[in-house]
A and B are shown apart, each in its own frame.
Chain A
Amino acid sequence: MKHAGPVTGSTAQNAVGEGRFTLARLAVATIATLMMLWPIAWMVSTSFKRPEAVFELPPRWIPEAPSLAGYEVALSAAVLRYFLNSVIVASATALLATGAGALCAYGLSRLRFRGNRAVMLALLGSLGLPIPLLMVTLYLLFFRVGILDSYLALILGHTVITLPVVVWLLKDFFDALPREFEEAAFIDGASPAQVIRLVILPLVRPGLAAAAIFVFVTSWNEFIFGMTFISSDTYRPIPAAMGLLFLNEFQYRWGDTMAVATVVTLPIMLLFVLFQRYFVSGITAGAVKG
């Protein structure tokens, strides 16, 4: 691990030599960041434009007469319902996948058995299985059980694509935790439930948070299950609703479309700003090791 300080471990002489480039580097980094972010800025800018202003050439980054008309559509009761559906599905998936994944990861971390590694690889490999292939049988299965067009269909579908990641992520986390405390607690006669509650949980909270956020984001962004398993507005999540409603008539109402897109994207960005450190560790942890 490298130290976190701003100056690298170079000698003072070298630092001075490199100092010349610092400003240039900052400038390049700023330009690169702008290159990455301008589409998002353009989306937000368009979302505040009146229909005529959208087609104005040359395009303006700051609308001349900002309008909230797009947000009247984006925050209408119908769209808020889709929004609520997405919150419900993403939260429930986060609970289910993180819960089941954490238990499994703990087991895999603490129990050494033959095939331990094979299980991990099988889980990772399952992420490569074609989702439309799995959906065919899931569709038939959910139909037989009678849960097509329900939150549960989406929650289970989203669990398929997130649970393996949670296990990978949290196994690393558990591996990094010293096991002496648990062993001591067990030897002192504590029950497994007590060990989990009193010894493990306090230590893995950041890991659980990272996993839960990863699951939430994945579920929030998921499009294709929402398009296929849901056929009523009661349960339709917001990305599918966008695909269904705003790509039709709204194709030329870019202001409205961009306002809805902004509303879909904003909560996720907010979540990211709030939980940034968990987020990045969550995304890199599993993969670096693999």
Chain B
Amino acid sequence: MTNAIRLPAGKAGNTQYAQRNKAQSTLEITVALIAVFILFLGSVKIFVWVNERMVLRQEAYEKTRVSAGSSNFEVQVDESDFPKLDIFGENAQ
């Protein structure tokens, strides 16, 4: 037993098959496009986040160089103000 749809034979059947197939493809391509878009958006967000964070870390490091090289050995970079990774806007205020 199979659940395959049995289409009527002849020209009408072929047309109907093509329409159903096209509809299926439309759904699939829609989902795929959304996925690709999300993937791309995520890539952009990660790209921006990584680079922004590197720049901020570098700035923070440069600011702590002198104090780290003095008698204050416990200098820590405060990363609490650094941007969070926010791909879907879940951290938006």
Are A and B associated in one complex? no
